[in-house]
Each structure stands twice: as C-alpha cells, then as structure tokens.
C-alpha cells in the first residue's frame, strides 16, 4: 500500500484530449539521486504546462549506456529503490511519467520503461531488440524481452518501444495488433553525422505502417566518447511533424492530442525547431562531448599545446566555446625547428580566443636527452627517434602542468593521423580527451573555416574569428626537423582521407578503392599503416564519436594481425 501525499494538483477527468510532455534530459551516469531530481523537476514543470503524461529518455534513471556498471547488484538495487520512491510521488494528482531504468524481474536484468502513475508503478515494458554493434553491446548485460502489448493509461492504450525496437517493423506490428493507439519511443540514440534524418525516416515508416502517431524522445549530452544530440520529435498519424525539439539542449516539449473518429491526432501548436547538421552539427557534438566530459568528471578546465597549427587551433576554439576562456590554458613549446610563423600564429590564436598562453622551450630537454643518450646512440645516425623525443618532451611538460594545476590535458590529434600512426606514443598522444579523434584532417580544415565565419549556437567563445587565416592556408607540419611537412611522410590529405573513409567507414577491399581511381600502391600502403597503428590507438585518450565508425568500441581490430590484402 503506497502512502500518497496530499494532492498539489487539480484532478483531471478523463477526456478525449491528452497533453504529453517530451523530457529531453542530460543524465549523469551513476548519479541516481541527481537523475531522479531532474525527472522530479521536469515533472513539476510539465504539470505547470498542463501535461497529463511525461515521456523521458532511455535509462534516464541510471544514465546511458551503463556498460558493466549495470551488472552490479548494488547499482540495480539503488535504481529500483529510487524508482519505487519516485513512483509514490505520482500519487499527488500530477502527471504520470515514463522513466527508463535497469530492472530485475524473475532473475533477469532488463532495459525497462516504467509507467509511474497514481502513486505506483502502473506498468513495465522491456526492450526487445538489443543492439550489439558499433558502440552498443547490450546483449552482454541485458536480457531480451519477448513481445509485449500496449500499456493502459486513462482511456487510451500506449505502445512503448525502447530505442532499437523502433528500427524494425516487428515490434510496431505487435503493438498495433494488440490495440495500441499511440507509439511512445524513449531513446538513447547517439549522434552521428547526418543521423537525424535517418531517425525521422525510420519513425515515418513506423507511422505509415501503423497509422498511429509516434513520439520520439532522445537523450542529450555527453557520456565518455558517446554524445547524444537530443533533437526529439513527434509525428502525427499522417507522418507530418507535430513537434521538433532543438538539438544540443535540455528541453521540455509539449504536445497536445485529440481522439477523433480515425484515432488520435495532433492539435498542433508544438514547438518545431530546425535541426542543423553538417559542420554545425559536428562542431556542436565536439563542444558537448568535451564540455560534459570536463563537467561530469569535475575538472577545473583544460590545458593544451598550442603549436600554431590548425589542429591545436581548432581544439582550443572548441574548448573555449564549450567551457569559456577562463577555463582554458595553452602552452607554446618551441624547439629549434619552430618557425616564426608558428610562434606568431599561436600567439594570435590565444589573443583571438582570450586565453592565457605560456611559452616553455623544450630545447633544454632536447639537449639533456641528447647528452644522456649519447653513449647508447654512439655511431648511430639521427632518425625519427630524435623527433619523437621532442614530442615526448612536450608531453611531459603538459602532464607536469596538468598535475600541478589540475587541468586536464586536451589532446589535439585528428583521425587521419591516428589512422596511419602519424603520432607519438607518450608525446602528442598524451591527454585525457580528444575532440578531433574522429575528425579527418580535411574536415578539420572545413570546420576551422566554418568556425571563423559562424558563431556556434551556445558557444562561450568570441563571435568572430578564432584563428588567423594563415593557419588555414599553410602546409601542415609537425616541425620536428628543418623544412618538414606532413606530405613528406603521407599522401595528400585529400587522397589519404578518401582512402581511409573507404577502409574504415566502408570496410572496402583494396580493389574497390583502386576501382575509384586511387593508386594501388598508395592504397596498400595506407592499409598497412592503418593495421600497424592499432597498438597506438589502443593507448589513445577517449574522444568524441562523430562518424559511423570511430576508433575504439566502434572498430575493434586485433593488434597482432598478419592478414594482408592479396594474401
């Protein structure tokens, strides 16, 4: 028996109209009390706007994706206790709410959506189709449910589908056959470049098949390498857009519906905000991923090496836009090979962004290592060993400043470099996070040009230019020896990135890429470099997932690997 508190809301008689709120939230992984408080606050706000029902996101109580954390019995128990206590609060006469939570039933752990109403857990539905690809490995931790019918709420029947359950027609078909009148879809759908249109199209297919309205509520915010863009929406029974919430914001959206002779239909008036994708979407994902990683892990700010090159300039701009200039520090670490252009460009980047720039020469460290290693290196010619020492001296410098100041080191390497191993372990790969980890070099140039022309929504940085034009036009160089450019060691980035997209995102064989007009020897060389660099990528910091196949959980290759094309 639940003790219900005195009602703070008017009793709502059952009618042929219903108001459903879309709660687009940013949960913190494992912060069960904090996540419940967010749900509590959004329920109060929804009540003030006349909502009868609130739909929150997938695993909104625990955070998503919980990975193996969800296997801990103590974690499962705390989620259950928090949900049961929150359910009791719905006895106050306010709106019902659908929450997502891990849930143990009959000895099995499910990814659940629970309807909390009238002081109790009124219904539970469990995820049927568990994704086991890309960043997802839900079959590792959750049990798959058998098909279930709709839940009853007041005088209507709601078809609950959890995220992946919407991506194929089977669950929708079961719900329609069981008498569902509206489809509700709580989601934890990660951002990928141009993915929003795919979600809309799939939802429209489900609507056209069922002839039922569909409400899709997606999580917003960063969780380690995965970032969620929100962009929740509702479709009327004819698949027209009834509501569209903005991307990259927490938001409560209100939709109003009426039962007519042919079923439930939108009354209109829902917020419809265009969702920007392309470069704006990528940049927003980078901002959100970094911002939430820093905030949720309690770092006071970030520190990075500012070299005068485009990668560090863009990384610094994203950091300032995400965190504010007062939480970003930069360090220029010149060597005897650093050009005056680089010194000037780093200083100008710092000035435009309004961040502190310290200059610490690594030449004394280079001399110290040269003397220390001279006996062991006697008779051996200089090679990349000496170049890597420079990079590692910079890494040691940044890590020392991080230890002393508490700021997290922001790595500045891009996906093109990480693909082919054009990076130094314990050197420029040092860092706690990378915003460019899943961004190819050609996209780095496009993003930098875009950021110089357009201020991103929600950015804390300057509205104007954030880097000098010369940073966008000069040939990329690591400046580890005289007159060095990246193209001394790599194909032109336009060629390299196109080949890498075929190998990484497309998993294409060499022959298919050669057939597109690329030189076979170049393609085979890039393939070989991609395989050989796997051991480096395993030791790289986490970073924002942007593409369909980011390095890490998206793409899992063995380090010891003798397979070669043509063998």
CATH architecture of 279-483: 3-Layer(aba) Sandwich (3.40)
End-to-end CA distance of the chain: 70
The ranges of the chain with pLDDT < 50 are 1-14
Catalytic residue among 38, 58, 225, 545: 58
163 is catalytic: yes
Give the C-alpha separation, 453 to 460, whole Å.
16
What is the rounded distance in angstroms from the CA atom of residue 313 to the CA atom of residue 320? 11
pLDDT of residue 7: 44
- Are the beta carbons of 145 and 157 closer than 8 angstroms? no
CB 189 within 8 A of CB 195: yes
The pLDDT value recorded for residue 479 is 64
Q: Which of 38, 79, 127, 349 is catalytic?
A: 127
Distance of CA 444 to the CA centre of its chain: 18
Cis peptide before 65 (omega within 30 of 0): yes
Is the preceding peptide bond at 183 cis, omega within 30 degrees of 0? Answer: no
Catalytic one among 38, 79, 138, 163?
Answer: 163
Q: Could you report the per-residue pLDDT of 206-219, keeping only the tens digit for each? A: 999 999 999 999 99
Q: What is the pLDDT of residue 485?
A: 76
Domain boundaries, the chain: 18-259, 279-483
> How many angstroms separate the CA atoms of 152 and 149, rounded?
10
pLDDT at 71: 96
| CATH topology assigned to domain 18-259 | Nitrilase/N-carbamoyl-D-aminoacid amidohydrolase (3.60.110)
Judge contact between 442 and 472, C-beta under 8 A: no
**Residues 94/99/102/104 CA torsion (nearest 10 deg):** 50
The question of whether 58 is a catalytic residue gets the answer yes
pLDDT for 135 equals 82
Q: Give the pLDDT of residue 14.
A: 45
45 is known as an active-site residue: no
């Amino acid at each position: 028996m639940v003790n219900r508190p005195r009602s703070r809301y008017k009793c709502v008689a059952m009618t042929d109209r219903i108001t459903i709120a879309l709660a687009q939230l940013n949960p913190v992984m494992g912060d069960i009390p904090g996540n419940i408080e967010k749900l509590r606050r959004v329920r109060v706000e929804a009540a003030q706007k006349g909502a009868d029902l609130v739909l929150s996101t997938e695993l909104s109580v625990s955070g998503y994706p919980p990975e193996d954390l969800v296997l801990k019995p103590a974690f499962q128990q705390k989620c259950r206790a928090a949900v049961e206590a929150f359910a009791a609060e719905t006895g106050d006469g306010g709106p019902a709410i659908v929450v997502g939570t891990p849930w143990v039933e009959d000895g099995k752990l499910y990814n659940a959506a629970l309807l909390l109403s009238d002081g109790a857990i009124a219904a539970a539905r469990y995820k049927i189709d568990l994704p086991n690809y890309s960043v997802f490995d839900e079959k590792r931790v959750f049990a798959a449910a058998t098909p279930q019918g709709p839940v009853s709420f007041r005088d209507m029947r709601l078809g609950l589908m959890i995220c992946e359950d919407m991506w194929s027609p089977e669950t929708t078909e079961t719900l329609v056959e069981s008498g569902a009148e509206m489809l509700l879809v709580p989601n934890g759908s990660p951002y990928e470049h141009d993915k929003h249109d795919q979600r809309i199209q799939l939802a429209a297919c489900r609507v056209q098949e069922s002839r039922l309205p569909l409400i899709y509520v997606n999580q917003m915010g960063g969780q380690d390498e995965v970032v969620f863009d929100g962009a929740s929406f509702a479709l009327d029974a004819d698949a027209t857009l009834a509501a569209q919430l903005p991307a990259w914001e927490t938001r409560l959206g209100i939709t109003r519906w009426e039962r007519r002779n042919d079923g439930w239909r939108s009354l209109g008036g829902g917020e419809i905000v265009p969702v920007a994708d392309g470069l704006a979407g990528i940049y927003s994902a980078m901002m959100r991923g970094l911002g939430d990683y820093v905030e949720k892990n309690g770092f006071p700010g970030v520190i990075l090496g500012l070299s005068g090159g485009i990668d560090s300039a863009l990384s610094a701009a994203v950091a300032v836009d995400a965190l504010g200039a007062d939480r970003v520090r930069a360090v220029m670490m010149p060597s005897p090979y650093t050009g005056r252009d680089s010194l000037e460009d780093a200083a100008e980047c710092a000035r435009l962004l309004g961040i502190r720039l310290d200059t610490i020469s690594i030449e004394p460290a280079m001399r110290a290592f040269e003397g220390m290693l001279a006996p062991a290196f006697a008779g051996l010619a200089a090679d990349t060993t000496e170049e890597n020492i420079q990079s590692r001296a910079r890494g040691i410098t940044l890590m020392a400043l991080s230890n002393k100041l508490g700021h997290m080191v922001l790595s500045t390497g891009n996906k093109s470099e990480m693909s082919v191993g054009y990076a130094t372990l314990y050197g420029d790969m040092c860092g706690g996070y990378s915003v460019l980890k899943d961004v190819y070099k050609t996209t780095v140039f496009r993003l930098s040009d875009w950021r110089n022309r357009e201020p991103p929504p929600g950015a804390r940085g300057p509205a104007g230019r954030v880097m000098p034009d010369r940073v966008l036009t000069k040939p990329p160089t690591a400046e580890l020896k005289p007159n060095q450019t990246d193209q001394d060691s790599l194909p032109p980035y336009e060629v390299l990135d196109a080949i890498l997209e075929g190998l990484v995102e497309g998993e294409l064989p060499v022959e298919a890429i050669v057939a597109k007009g690329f030189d076979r020897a170049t393609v085979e060389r890039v393939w070989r470099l991609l395989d050989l660099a796997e051991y480096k990528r395993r030791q790289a910091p986490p970073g924002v997932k942007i593409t369909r196949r980011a390095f890490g959980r998206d793409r899992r290759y063995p380090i010891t690997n003798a397979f070669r094309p043509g063998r």
